[in-house]
């Protein structure tokens, strides 16, 4: 139906990167899961089973973090360019600012529903998704919620089964090693309780931008 338009769409990027890189990132992160690397005032201290690093992960100066920084910037630049319809010249005039950290999640660990204020784009990189749980399909899944607060205020048979691009149902994903997800920072999201034995390892980042010559 040509006249059916897609207003209020949410840009969401998912790309499978090299799983061999993910193995190296996992090894590096687990070797740095130490108290001196932990974020001192991390709210994740209230959630047993979750380790959260300091927010300067991309600036640690290692080959691993340098490679990840380049990877993240390259993919995010493409998303920003496409979503905003800007050219290469305008893109090169953008100054990237970021916080980046890693999470190691063990059995019972989870993240409650949250978004990321004071940023425009957020990113999740899956280094190791951990173990699947056949008895609990949802364990460790990322859940992204519809940002339209009133979208589901009334349900009937004419709107309950709308196609994915129109639906207001949450989106559940179980990333695989190397998956890179980029989405607007206003999106509420959560991680359901993880039940595997192998550590679930991920990297997260928030980005905000200015143009050169401005603060």
Number of structural domains in the chain: 1
CATH of the domain at 35: 2.60.120.620
Which residue's structure tokens are 């460790």? 140
The pair phi, psi for residue 134, each rounded to 5°, is -65, -30
Q: Which domain holds residue 118?
A: 13-211
Q: Per the structure block, which two tokens stand in for 211? A: 């143009």
**Confidence (pLDDT) at 173:** 93
84 domain-assigned: yes
181 domain-assigned: yes
- What pTM, to 2 d.p., does this model score? 0.93
5 domain-assigned: no
2 domain-assigned: no
> To which H or E segment does residue 83 belong?
helix 63-84
6 domain-assigned: no
Could you read off the pLDDT of 19-56 as tens digits, one per residue? Answer: 999 999 999 999 999 999 999 887 766 677 999 999 99
19 domain-assigned: yes
49 domain-assigned: yes
Residue 2 has pLDDT above 80, yes or no: no
């Amino acid at each position: 139906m040509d006249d059916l338009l897609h207003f209020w769409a949410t840009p969401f990027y998912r790309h499978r990167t090299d799983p061999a890189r993910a193995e190296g990132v996992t090894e590096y992160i687990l070797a740095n899961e130490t108290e001196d690397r932990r974020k001192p005032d991390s709210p994740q201290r209230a959630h047993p089973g979750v380790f959260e690093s300091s927010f300067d992960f991309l600036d640690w100066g290692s080959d691993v973090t340098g490679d990840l920084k380049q990877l993240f910037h390259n993919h995010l630049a493409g998303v920003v360019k496409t979503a905003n319809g800007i050219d290469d010249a305008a893109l090169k005039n953008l100054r990237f600012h970021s916080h980046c950290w890693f999470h190691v999640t063990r059995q019972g660990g989870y993240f409650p529903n949250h978004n990321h204020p004071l940023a425009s784009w957020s990113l999740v990189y899956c280094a190791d998704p951990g173990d699947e749980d056949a008895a609990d399909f949802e364990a460790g899944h990322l859940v992204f919620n519809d940002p339209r607060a009133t979208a589901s205020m009334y349900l009937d048979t004419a709107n309950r089964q709308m196609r994915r691009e129109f639906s207001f149902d949450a989106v559940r994903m179980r990333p695989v090693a190397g998956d890179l997800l980029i989405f607007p920072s206003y999106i509420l999201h959560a991680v359901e309780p993880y039940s595997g034995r192998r550590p679930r390892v991920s990297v997260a980042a928030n980005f905000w931008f200015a143009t050169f010559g401005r603060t």
